[in-house]
Amino acid sequence: MTKARDLMTAGAECVGENETLVDAARKMRDLDVGALPICGEDNRLKGVLTDRDIVVRCLADGGDPATALAGQFGQGKPVTIGADDSIEEALATMSKHQVRRLPVIDGHDLVGMLAQADIARAMPDAATGDVVQDISQ
């Protein structure tokens, strides 16, 4: 059985809840990623910040990314997957919550990120379209 840890990108970097969106955007650029987990002062996961959040929820609403903090964009309890959970469970979670990326946790520690693309690359071509369709409804 393939597990989340088998396909995830290990060593996910966080943006701190008190870092600005400009800092987050630079980190995304430098890491060549479109999303970052938001970690609190207590080193706990507070949410996930996407490049789309910065544009749509800050810039388009007239916000200032130089003063807006990443922690303001972590809404509710973050949707995560356990490192030893199956890929089928990860797909079900992505589909249920309509998300393309999941922080992977081991206990309370963030150990990686699992993206829709990670799963799609590991699946047979015929199944990949089904994955994308289920998550993108």
For residue 88, the 8-state DSSP code is H
Distance CA 102, CA 21 (A): 20
Helix (H) or strand (E) holding 118: helix 116-122
Closest CA to 20 of 42, 36, 43, 44: 36
For the domain made up of 4-135, give the CATH fold. Answer: CBS-domain (3.10.580)
Parallel/antiparallel/unpaired status of strands 101-106 and 81-82: parallel
**CB within 8 Å of 26: residues ≥ 6 apart:** none
Parse the chain into domains and list their residue ranges.
4-135
Token digits of residue 13: 């970097």
Distance CA 44, CA 41 (A): 7
What pLDDT digit, counting tens, does each position of 71-122 carry? 998 766 889 999 999 999 999 999 999 889 999 999 888 999 999 989 988 8
Residue 127 has pLDDT above 70, yes or no: no
pLDDT at position 18 is 96
Predicted TM-score (pTM) above 0.85: no
What pLDDT digit, counting tens, does each position of 13-26 carry? 999 999 999 999 99
